[in-house]
Amino acid sequence: MISDLSKLCVHTITTKPWAIEDAVVNYSKAGVKGITIWRNAIEGRDLTKVKSHIANHGLEVVSLCRGGFFPALDTKGRQTAIDDNKRAIDEAAAVGAPHVVLVCGAVPQQSLFESRKQIADGIAAVLPHAKQAGVKLAIEPLHPMYANDRSAVNTLKQANDLCDQLASPLVGVAVDVYHLWWDDSLEQEIKRCGKSGYLFAFHICDWKTPTTDFLNDRGLMGEGCINIPQIRSWVESAGFKGFNEVEIFSNLHWAKCQDSFLQEITQAYLQHS
Ligand code: ZN
């Protein structure tokens, strides 16, 4: 059980119907302490204003979501991805986010082996830009149901291996319980992740049965089968002291009054995380 909201962060996508300006005010009122910004929420905004609005409401910017999607069938496509990731890094620096979360990408027409190689090359290509901006990169392994088109990095072991390969203090991992709860080597890989200094972020929500939509039917903590307190205890034992980030894509929850949903989030956070 968690005793207070001091480590609670909410992703802007979790309350997608709200503009970021309103989300900030409402999170702050509800006692939320951190915010992870999705890039769609700041499109066309003055980022200096966004940054000060967040600071004025006592919230900390935890992450920027998201960069990645490095693999492509041709050089031009891969370069477009690299350019977009550099923009994401600049946006993170502008809003004061310490890292960009990477959904690494995959292309159905090519092998996972090739996509993984392109992911490593893509991250390496943006590293000098990240260094200059002082922004880190957090590789988020995605559940294998997304291996064909969203990410060829599907286990924490693969993410840790990729960090080993890239060997940069700027490259680490975002551990998301939704993607990793099923993995029997999770505890061991979380230990390894912490020991290696890779543990940058921790995302929570729940896995519903049945899941009616592979993308937009995530559950609120307690609505599903994930033992979040156990995974959180592993992450904390591995030295993680950061925020617990609530990241829920859900057509059901987005259709509700977002004020009541936010109340449910804080309650579920205290009871089931
Ligand atoms: Zn996540």
For 179-219, write each residue's pLDDT tens digit: 999 999 999 999 999 999 999 999 999 999 999 999 999 99
In a domain, 202, yes or no: yes
Contact assessment for residue 61 and residue 32, using Cβ atoms and an 8 Å cutoff: no
Given a cut of 90, whether residue 1 has pLDDT beyond it is no
Task: Report which of 59, 62, 64 is spatially closest to residue 26, judged by C-alpha positions.
Answer: 59
176 Cα–ligand 1 center, Å: 5
153 Cα–ligand 1 center, Å: 13
What is the CB neighbour count within 10 angstroms for residue 202? 24
In a domain, 210, yes or no: yes
Report how many domains make up the chain.
1
246 Cα–ligand 1 center, Å: 8
Residues 6+ apart with CB under 8 A from 184: none
50 Cα–ligand 1 center, Å: 22
CATH number (domain holding residue 26): 3.20.20.150
For residue range 131-159, list pLDDT tens digits in order: 999 999 999 999 999 999 999 999 999 99
213 Cα–ligand 1 center, Å: 16
Domain holding 242, by residue range, is 8-272
179 Cα–ligand 1 center, Å: 8
In a domain, 151, yes or no: yes
Residues 6+ apart with CB under 8 A from 173: 138, 139, 140, 141, 156, 159, 160, 163, 193, 198, 199, 200, 201
pTM: 0.98
Residues 6+ apart with CB under 8 A from 158: 116, 141
In a domain, 267, yes or no: yes
42 Cα–ligand 1 center, Å: 18
214 Cα–ligand 1 center, Å: 14
In a domain, 185, yes or no: yes
Q: What is the pLDDT of residue 252?
A: 97
In a domain, 2, yes or no: no
For residue range 79-136, list pLDDT tens digits in order: 999 999 999 999 999 999 999 999 999 999 999 999 999 999 999 999 999 999 999 9
249 Cα–ligand 1 center, Å: 10
69 Cα–ligand 1 center, Å: 15
In a domain, 1, yes or no: no
In a domain, 116, yes or no: yes
105 Cα–ligand 1 center, Å: 14
User: At CA 238, angle to CA 33 and CA 264, rounded to 5?
Assistant: 35
- The position carrying tokens 């109340």 is 263
- The position carrying tokens 């992870």 is 36
Residue 199 phi, psi (nearest 5):
-80, 95
